[in-house]
C-alpha cells in the first residue's frame, strides 16, 4: 500500500525530473517544428498538471457505503410504493445538492466507479416495470417520452445537470412490461441505446417469491425471463436480479446460476427489497448475491427511507463512500485497511492515508 507521503513524494520527483529533462534538451525552438506550422506547440492550449487530491480534506473513503435506491411506480397519488413525479424530481435534486452522482449498477459490480473526487456514487433502480417508469405519449403526431415518467424525468434532470450522470437499472417483469404492449421493442431498444440497464425481476413475479418456489420452478422463472428477453434483445446480457417480494431460498446457488430447458442464466448481482445501504464493492463485507437497497419513499419507512439515510450519512460522513476521483485506485483511511476485500491489490492500486 502507498502512504500519502509516499504518493506526494512520487509526484514531486516526477515534476523535478520533468524540469531536468526540459533543461537538458537545449533550445526548444530548434527541436520543435518550424514556427507557424500546423504542429506549432504555441497554437496548443498548455495542459495544466492535475493537482493532487487532498484525501483528508475531502474525507475520501472508498470503503464507505453506497445507496442502491429502490423505486416502484412513478405516478399519483403518493403512496408507500408510489413516488409522484414531483417527489422524484425532488429526490434527484436533493441527491445532487448533497454530492451524489448517478452510476450504473454494473459499474459498481465491476468496481469501476468513476465519479469526481469528493462525490458519492448512487445507484437508481426500479422494480416491476410499471407504466409510470416508461411511457410514450403522442405529441404533434409522433411518439415522445412522457416528461412525467421516470425515464423522462431522468433525462430532463441530466440535461439540466450533466454532471449528475444518466444511469438507472430497470428490473423488468416479462409479462406486459411498462404497459403499452405494442411498444415493448421500442422501449427496450430505447433503454439500451440511452445507456440504461435492464435486469431481471423474473418472468411473472410469482407469489410468494423465489423463496417459496421449488428449485425447478425458480429455475423456470429465471430462465423464461432470459428466453423472453432474447426475443427482443438477443445480444444484451442481463447480469442482475431483483428478488420478487424479497424472498430467497437458503441455497442461493441455483438462483445465482443455472438453466432450464437448455436456457442458461447468471445473476452476478442479486438485490433485496431493503432496507439499508450496501457495503462498498471493495469491502470484504460486500456480498453480490444479497445486496440491500434503500427504499426511495417517505411513507412507512420506519427510519429506513431515502431521506433518513441521507441524514445519517450527513451526520457520519465516514460511513459514506466518498470518491478520490480515480477509478483505478482505492483510497481509504489507514485504519480501515483490514476491511478490504482479499486480493483487491491485484485489481486496483490501494492508497491509504
Domains of the chain: 55-352 (3.20.20.370)
CA–CA gap between residue 47 and residue 18 (Å, rounded): 14
Supply the pLDDT for residue 46. 59
Cross-strand bridge partners of residue 47: none
Supply the pLDDT for residue 47. 63
| Collapsed DSSP state (helix, strand, coil) of residue 271 | strand
List b or e across 15-31, with b for residues whose CB sees 16 or more CB atoms inside 10 angstroms.
eeeeeeeeeeeeeeeee
| Collapsed DSSP state (helix, strand, coil) of residue 113 | coil
Supply the pLDDT for residue 275. 84
| 252's grid cell | 442461493
Instruction: Pick out the chain residues at pLDDT < 70.
Output: 1-49
| 35's grid cell | 514556427
CA–CA gap between residue 126 and residue 201 (Å, rounded): 10
Q: Are 149 and 133 in contact (CB under 8 A)?
A: yes
C-alpha distances out from residue 151 to 13, 95, 190, Å? 49, 17, 10
| pLDDT per position as a tens digit, 81-134 | 999 999 999 999 999 999 999 999 999 999 999 999 999 999 999 999 999 999
Supply the pLDDT for residue 3. 41
Q: Are 125 and 241 in contact (CB under 8 A)?
A: no
Supply the pLDDT for residue 274. 78
What does the DSSP 8-state code read for residue 210? G
Whole-structure pTM value: 0.86
CA–CA gap between residue 301 and residue 344 (Å, rounded): 35
Supply the pLDDT for residue 48. 67
Amino acid at each position: 500500500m502507498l502512504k500519502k507521503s509516499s504518493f506526494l513524494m512520487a509526484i514531486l520527483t516526477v515534476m523535478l525530473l520533468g524540469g531536468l529533462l526540459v533543461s537538458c534538451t537545449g533550445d526548444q525552438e530548434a527541436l520543435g517544428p518550424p514556427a507557424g506550422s500546423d504542429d506549432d506547440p504555441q497554437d496548443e492550449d498548455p495542459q495544466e498538471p492535475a493537482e493532487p487530491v487532498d484525501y483528508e480534506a475531502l474525507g475520501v473513503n472508498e470503503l464507505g457505503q453506497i445507496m442502491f435506491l429502490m423505486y416502484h411506480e412513478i405516478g399519483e397519488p403518493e403512496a408507500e410504493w408510489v413516488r409522484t413525479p414531483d417527489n422524484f424530481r425532488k429526490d434527484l435534486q436533493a441527491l445532487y445538492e448533497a454530492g451524489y452522482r448517478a452510476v450504473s449498477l454494473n459499474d459498481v459490480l465491476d468496481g469501476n466507479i468513476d465519479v469526481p473526487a469528493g462525490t458519492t456514487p448512487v445507484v437508481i433502480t426500479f422494480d416491476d416495470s410499471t407504466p409510470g417508469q416508461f411511457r410514450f405519449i403522442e405529441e404533434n403526431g409522433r411518439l415522445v417520452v412522457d416528461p412525467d415518467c421516470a425515464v423522462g424525468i431522468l433525462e430532463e434532470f441530466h440535461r439540466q445537470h450533466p454532471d449528475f450522470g444518466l444511469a438507472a437499472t430497470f428490473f423488468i417483469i416479462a409479462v406486459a412490461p411498462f404497459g403499452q404492449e405494442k411498444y415493448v421493442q421500442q422501449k427496450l431498444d430505447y433503454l439500451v441505446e440511452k445507456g440504461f440497464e435492464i435486469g431481471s425481476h423474473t418472468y411473472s413475479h410469482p407469489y410468494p417469491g423465489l423463496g417459496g418456489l421449488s428449485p425447478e420452478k425458480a429455475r423456470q422463472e429465471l430462465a423464461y425471463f432470459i428466453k423472453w428477453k432474447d426475443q427482443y434483445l438477443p445480444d444484451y446480457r442481463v447480469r442482475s436480479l431483483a428478488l420478487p417480494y424479497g424472498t430467497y431460498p437458503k441455497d442461493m446457488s441455483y438462483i445465482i446460476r443455472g438453466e432450464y430447458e437448455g436456457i442458461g442464466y447468471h445473476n452476478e448481482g442479486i438485490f433485496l427489497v431493503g432496507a439499508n445501504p450496501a457495503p462498498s464493492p471493495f469491502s470484504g463485507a460486500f456480498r453480490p448475491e444479497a445486496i440491500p437497497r434503500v427504499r426511495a419513499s417517505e411513507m412507512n419507512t420506519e427510519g429506513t427511507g431515502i431521506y433518513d439515510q441521507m441524514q445519517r450519512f450527513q451526520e457520519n460522513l465516514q460511513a459514506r463512500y466518498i470518491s478520490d476521483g480515480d477509478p483505478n485506485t482505492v483510497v481509504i483511511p489507514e485504519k480501515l485497511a483490514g476491511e478490504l476485500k482479499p486480493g483487491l491489490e491485484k485489481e486496483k492500486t490501494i492508497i491509504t492515508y
